[in-house]
Amino acid sequence: MKILGFMGSPRVNGLNAKLVKSALKGAESKGAETKRYDLIKCNIEYCRGCFKCVFENHDLPFGKCPIEDDVAGILEEYVRADGYIFSTPVYDVGITALLKTFLERKFALFFKDKEDTVTLPAPRTPAHFLKKASLFVTGNARDEYREVMGDPCFETIEIDFMLEQVDVADKFYVGGAHVMTKERLEEKKKEAFNIGVRLVEEIEKEREKK
Ligand SMILES: Cc1cc2nc3c(=O)[nH]c(=O)nc-3n(C[C@H](O)[C@H](O)[C@H](O)COP(=O)(O)O)c2cc1C
């Protein structure tokens, strides 16, 4: 079982980094192999909107993008993984540009005929909801603002998963990022650890059913 963590804050020792590290430790405690991508350290260019990745090479697990950066290597691992953690701070009531840039490049996971102007892009390798993902969002706005600050972020990430046929297991909003006491941080890290544990358990449970 392989779980990938995508950390969408530019601060590599910040709150998101700590939560993702804890969640991946939780997954490891259930025997999963894990890998963390700090997106700020990856070379991920902006999508240029050419649609080549979607329209061409429908037989491949992900489409060929003309941009030569780290994305092909990441997607290679992505299609082989069993579960994902996506984490982002709220920036201007949405996900960070860093994470959004990566999500847009994930377009290569889909295909569509050029002539088809009606249907949504389809997943090249449908996951049949056997893969799962957990989403973390942190904000300076306190926990009571989860709906205002967290939900737009969760929705942006979830729409891709709906198309990929990946189930979302947990959505975790951590508010009050700038007034985090040591005690509360430890509590939130524990919750993140348990989310990592649950992610592996939920994937295993789903696979036992089939
Ligand atoms: C450009 C910018 C925009 C922000 N916008 C919001 C916002 O709309 N709502 C909010 O609650 N916090 C906002 N914040 C605070 C961040 O969410 C907070 O610094 C972050 O969650 C801390 O996580 P990190 O340590 O992993 O970076 C913003 C921060 C920055 C730098």
Interval 132-147 mean pLDDT = 98
Q: For the chain, what is the domain count? A: 1
- Residue-number span of the structural domain to which 198 is assigned: 2-209
- Secondary-structure breakdown of the chain: helix, strand, coil percentages, each rounded to the nearest 5: 45, 20, 35
Instruction: Give the CATH number, domain containing residue 153.
Output: 3.40.50.360
Q: What angle do helix axes 151-164 and 97-105 make, rounded to 10 degrees?
A: 10
Give me the percent of the chain exceeding a pLDDT of 70: 100
Q: How far is the CA of 90 from the centre of ligand 1 (A)?
A: 5
Residue nearest to atom 2 of ligand 1 (CA): 91
* Inter-CA distances, 111 with 51, 77, 107, 128, 163, Å: 9, 19, 8, 16, 11
Q: How far is the CA of 153 from the centre of ligand 1 (A)?
A: 12
Q: Which of 140, 146, 172 to mutate to test the pocket of ligand 1 (most atoms within 8 A of CB)?
A: 140
Q: Is the CB of 141 under 6 A from ligand 1?
A: yes
Q: What are 96-126's pLDDT values in tens digits?
A: 999 999 999 999 999 999 999 899 999 999 9
Q: Is the CB of 91 under 6 A from ligand 1?
A: yes
Interval 5-23 mean pLDDT = 98
**Is 0.95 surpassed by the pTM of this model?**
yes
Q: What are 185-205's pLDDT values in tens digits?
A: 999 999 999 999 999 999 999
